[in-house]
Structure 1
Amino acid sequence: MGEHMSDDAVRLSSVTRRHGSGDTSVTALDQVSLAFPRGTFTAVMGPSGSGKSTLLQCAAGLDRPTSGSVTVGGTELTGLSETALTLLRRERVGFVFQAFNLVSSLTAEQNVSLPLRLAGRRPDRARVREVLRQVGLGDRARHRPTEMSGGQQQRVALARALITRPDVLFGDEPTGALDSRTSREVLTLLRGMVDRDGRTVIMVTHDPVAASYADRVVLLVDGRVDGELLGAGADAIAARLSGLEAAPC
């Protein structure tokens, strides 16, 4: 494995994903090649139906491409069995979704330690507390989701995603259910994880303000990459997006 490969946390090479077959087949991704360097924060944006979620699912090993290849942390996913894929996702990938997906009967620390239990590993209580402290919830370890605000629940979900020390953190509209102030707090946390801890974050969002926290914005249209913006502010991102929305099909 060459050194240059290991500089990318995730790499997609000519990834195509078709759903269905024959006349009814829909191409969700069309020959997408993208690299996500380690220690960077990328936002993926585009009109509804542009393939954003499919891109995320293929990049994270949740969905298999019809053709092309995906590499996560230097491991090529194409030839992996379902078991090997599950292990890779469990150990090297973290997920945060718009829905917090917490188990309501469990405390914050029990929710955070769940991925370790699923992997048959004994949770280290100090590590669980440390991750909760990292997301600003050190004093909430014993609280259940119903005793928390939406922002606090999303931070528990973030801590749960981080407990396995993943190579890459995937977010699918992670601030979609939050008000703007809480959204900013979660985005600042994600930004800090990239800057301070060298984590790699890949986030699908429709919100130009959320996207402005990223190092770059990758634009998708009809399953193809339609350029990218580097270090752009919310207004520039919004203007570019509205241009995409208005473009003739």
Structure 2
Amino acid sequence: MGNHMNRMNQMNHMSGDAIQLHSVSREFGADGTSVTALDRVSLAFPRGTFTAVMGPSGSGKSTLLQCAAGLDRPTSGSIRIGGTELAGLSERKLTLLRRERIGFVFQAFNLMPSLTAEQNVALPLRLAGRRPKKNQVREVLDRVGLGDRARHRPTELSGGQQQRVALARALITRPEVLFADEPTGALDSRTGREVLTLLREMVDRAGQTIVMVTHDPVAASRADRVVLLVDGRVDGELAGARAEDIAARMTRLEAAPC
């Protein structure tokens, strides 16, 4: 409980929101056959906090993440990252924003198989036309506990180690927000716990803002709060909840009549 109170106090000292969504909707398909994936969602993600997003299958979790991260444009509503409104950005400016201010980690590690760990980590900088400093790459690999694996290729690393490389690659640009889509989905439970501990430490020690989509109550329990989605709408939040409580809430949501 003490650790949680410390985290809450730390959160209260953080100023402002990393992301704000105001009445965001996303529809797919043509008129008459359109599907509403997000329905007037309003949410704020304070800086230096860890938020898990959960909901039944088809609730809009991934669409929320993709819109919030600037990977997809909402049909209506406003999304701000820091002080930047995404709606008015050209595709080029949106690409630059994603490259410079946002980090991504996915269930599939998405590493380049022909590159070493340090080359994979340096890739976002190279894509941005910046020459990566060797000590900068090693430093971020050290942060994820892989300083001694810098010259290994993905096939020479375990699944957990590959996900740590993916985390280091996401952190190399010092992003304002790290988005994680089922980051432990391809890992066994022990390795998944290690990655979750790493994410938690990034928030507590470095003030990183993390938004994680997950179906796993154990993963969600490591977050400061859990945002629940049902049919594209926010259906409440849980703060500092145990895995058992999150699982019980999810069971009720999944059993609810459509």
**TM-score when normalising by structure 1:** 0.97
**Which amino acid in the other structure matches residue 165 of structure 1?**
R
Specify which of 89, 108, 125 is matched with residue 116 of structure 1.
125
Q: Are residue 125 (structure 1) and residue 139 (structure 2) matched?
A: no
Specify which of 138, 160, 168 is matched with residue 151 of structure 1.
160
1:15-94 map, 5 Å:
15-94=24-103
Task: Please give the alpha-carbon distance, in whole angstroms, between the structure 2 residues aligned to 1:52 and 1:123.
Answer: 34
Q: For 1:165-223, what per-residue CA distance to the aligned partner results, in whole angstroms no more than 9, with x for missing partners?
A: 00000000000000011001000000000000001000000000000000000000000
Secondary structure (helix, strand or coil) at the match of 1:24 reads: coil
Q: Are residue 212 (structure 1) and residue 228 (structure 2) matched?
A: no
Aligned to 1:196: 205
Secondary structure (helix, strand or coil) at the match of 2:130 reads: coil
Structure 1 segments, 4+ long, off by >4 Å, are none
RMSD: 0.5
Secondary structure (helix, strand or coil) at the match of 1:23 reads: coil
Aligned to 1:242: 251
Task: Please give the alpha-carbon distance, in whole angstroms, between the structure 2 residues aligned to 1:223 and 1:203.
Answer: 17
1:92-103 map, 5 Å:
92-103=101-112
Secondary structure (helix, strand or coil) at the match of 2:211 reads: strand
Stretches of structure 1 that go unaligned for 5 or more consecutive residues are 1-5
Task: Please give the alpha-carbon distance, in whole angstroms, between the structure 1 residues aligned to 2:90 and 2:31.
Answer: 27
**Which amino acid in the other structure matches residue 127 of structure 2?**
L
Q: Are residue 106 (structure 1) and residue 115 (structure 2) matched?
A: yes
Deviation at 1:132, TM superposition (A): 0.2
Give me the identity figure in percent: 82
**TM-score when normalising by structure 2:** 0.94
Secondary structure (helix, strand or coil) at the match of 1:100 reads: coil
**Which amino acid in the other structure matches residue 96 of structure 2?**
L
Task: Please give the alpha-carbon distance, in whole angstroms, between the structure 1 residues aligned to 2:83 and 2:66.
Answer: 18
Aligned to 2:147: 138
Q: For 1:80-112, what per-residue CA distance to the aligned partner results, in whole angstroms no more than 9, with x for missing partners?
A: 000000000000000000000000000000000
**Which amino acid in the other structure matches residue 63 of structure 1?**
D
Task: Please give the alpha-carbon distance, in whole angstroms, between the structure 1 residues aligned to 2:80 and 2:19.
Answer: 6
Task: Please give the alpha-carbon distance, in whole angstroms, between the structure 1 residues aligned to 2:158 and 2:33.
Answer: 43
Aligned to 1:179: 188
Task: Please give the alpha-carbon distance, in whole angstroms, between the structure 2 residues aligned to 1:182 and 1:127.
Answer: 26
Stretches of structure 2 that go unaligned for 5 or more consecutive residues are 1-14
Deviation at 1:23, TM superposition (A): 1.2
Number of residue-to-residue matches in the alignment: 244
Deviation at 1:133, TM superposition (A): 0.2
Task: Please give the alpha-carbon distance, in whole angstroms, between the structure 1 residues aligned to 2:192 and 2:18.
Answer: 25
